[in-house]
Amino acid sequence: MNGRISADRFYAAVATPMRDDESVDLETLATLIDRYIAKGVEGVYCNGSSGEGLLLSIEERMATVETAVQASGGRVPVIAHIACMSTKDSIGLGQHASQVGAEAVSMIPPLYYGYAEEEVLGFYLDVMDEIELPMFIYNIPQFSKTQISDRTFNELLRDERVAGVKFTDHDMFALQELRVAHPEKVLINGFDETYVPARAAGATGAIGTTIGLQTELFLAARRRFDSGDVAGAQAVQQRINVIIRGLVDNDVFPAAKYLSGRDVGSLGDCRRPLRQLSSETKAALDKLGQTLDRFLQEIAQEEAGAP
């Protein structure tokens, strides 16, 4: 397995910048990724929920992955989410991701039709048969409305082409069972609000909506957890969760996209039918940004040993 994707890394699930006409702004995307890497982000995840991947065309998804790879310049690995409504389109995205230099791909289960267990399994196997990159199963039952069965999980995780799971679920018992059953696989936490609990349950690394926004906090939480200071890691997680609560209360994906644009001017609005933020909501998010700035300053002082 690629050593870079098997490492304990923080991947920013990048938002896709858009102009007023909803066209994708690749130049701003490249700038955003460069800023994230400078802050300490250790990987980039494209076209997931945060990136509005299912609202983008096939061509736009290819362009965002290619831009991400070019912007990262080999400094960090890029994982491309490639799931589409059809297996054929997913294969095309996977083949393209390999050609442009992504280091792994990821897929949610197939959507809408209420697929049988065999069809979910077949979706992953059929795509992996036609691509060369390692696969991360993207488990997100809250949005996909599909709870991948233990049987399907176990069969896929026994496949050497599956690198692991992007585990975006609050079920820590299920995560721990996966770790026990498949100790060789990479289990990546997908809900930012559960990073520290997920580490305790066996996750390594994280892919998240707010990792690019709160990079320094996540790095501090990891340092403390790894040093055995669980209480200190929990204290950082509490700060992380204050920001997440503020985003969730204001519609998490448009809100996170708005705050994530602070360092690059703006990432634009989300693509409709996701809602556009009101001026009142943006004002509330500006205050949340001030709270985040205070947390970042506090963490910097604590990490430096300042009183």
Residue 269's closest CA among 93, 16, 13? 16
- Residue among 36, 138, 195, 258 flagged as catalytic: 138
Which residues, in sequence order, are CB contacts of 167 under 8 Å at separation 6+?
139, 175, 178, 187, 188, 189, 190, 198, 203
pLDDT at 307 over 90: no
**What are residue 79's DSSP bridge partners?**
45, 104
What length is written for the chain?
307
Cβ of 75: how many Cβ atoms within 10 Å?
A: 14
Per-residue pLDDT tens for 72-123? Answer: 999 999 999 999 999 999 999 999 999 999 999 999 999 999 999 999 999 9
- Residue among 166, 195, 257, 258 flagged as catalytic: 166
Residue 196's closest CA among 238, 154, 141, 157? 238
In a domain? residue 234: no
pLDDT band at 6 (very low <50, low <70, confident <90, very high): confident
Number of separate domains in the chain: 1
Per-residue pLDDT tens for 161-191? Answer: 999 999 999 999 999 999 999 999 999 999 9
Helix residue ranges per DSSP H, the chain: 3-6, 26-39, 58-72, 87-100, 117-128, 141-144, 150-157, 172-181, 195-201, 215-226, 230-248, 252-260, 279-303
What is the rounded average pLDDT of the residues 26-50? 97
In this structure, what CATH number is given to the domain that contains residue 177?
3.20.20.70
Q: pLDDT value at position 159? A: 97
**How many angstroms separate the CA atoms of 273 and 281, rounded?**
18
pLDDT band at 304 (very low <50, low <70, confident <90, very high): confident
Cα 244 off chain centre by: 14
Cβ of 70: how many Cβ atoms within 10 Å?
A: 15
In a domain? residue 269: no
In a domain? residue 259: no
In a domain? residue 97: yes
Per-residue pLDDT tens for 146-160? Answer: 889 899 999 999 999
In a domain? residue 166: yes
Tell me whether residue 257 is one of the annotated catalytic residues: no
In a domain? residue 161: yes
Q: pLDDT value at position 1? A: 66
In a domain? residue 284: no
Which residues, in sequence order, are CB contacts of 71 under 8 Å at separation 6+?
29, 30, 31, 33, 34
Per-residue pLDDT tens for 244-299? Answer: 999 999 999 999 999 999 989 999 999 999 999 999 999 999 999 999 999 999 99
In a domain? residue 294: no
**What's the domain range around 130?**
3-214
Q: pLDDT value at position 217? A: 98
